[in-house]
Amino acid sequence: MAFAQNLVRCSIKAAVSKNHFSLAKTASNFGAYQLSTQFNSLQPLRTFSIGSQLHQDVNVTFLRANGQKIQAKGKVGDTLLDVVVNNHIDLDGFGACEGTLTCSTCHLIFKVQDFEKLPDKASDEELDMLDLAYELTDTSRLGCQITLTKDMDGLVVSVPATINDARSA
C-alpha distances (whole Å) from 91 to each of 32, 155, 163 are: 36, 18, 10
Give the footprint of ligand FES on residues 125-144 (CB under 6 A).
Answer: 129, 142, 144
Q: Is 106 in the site for ligand FES (CB under 6 A)?
A: yes
- Taking contact as CB under 6 A, which single stretch among the options 20-28, 33-41, 49-57, 96-104 is the one that binds ligand FES? 96-104
Residue 106's closest CA among 117, 114, 98, 115? 98
Residue whose CB is less far from ligand FES, 21 or 115: 115
| Rounded Cα–Cα distance for residues 13 and 24 (Å) | 8
Q: Is 160 in the site for ligand FES (CB under 6 A)?
A: no
Q: Is 74 in the site for ligand FES (CB under 6 A)?
A: no
| Rounded Cα–Cα distance for residues 4 and 26 (Å) | 9
Q: Is 84 in the site for ligand FES (CB under 6 A)?
A: no
| Rounded Cα–Cα distance for residues 157 and 152 (Å) | 11
Residue whose CB is less far from ligand FES, 23 or 97: 97
Contact 54, 77 (CB under 8 A): yes
Q: Which residues bind ligand FES (CB under 6 A)?
A: 81, 95-97, 99, 101-106, 129, 142, 144
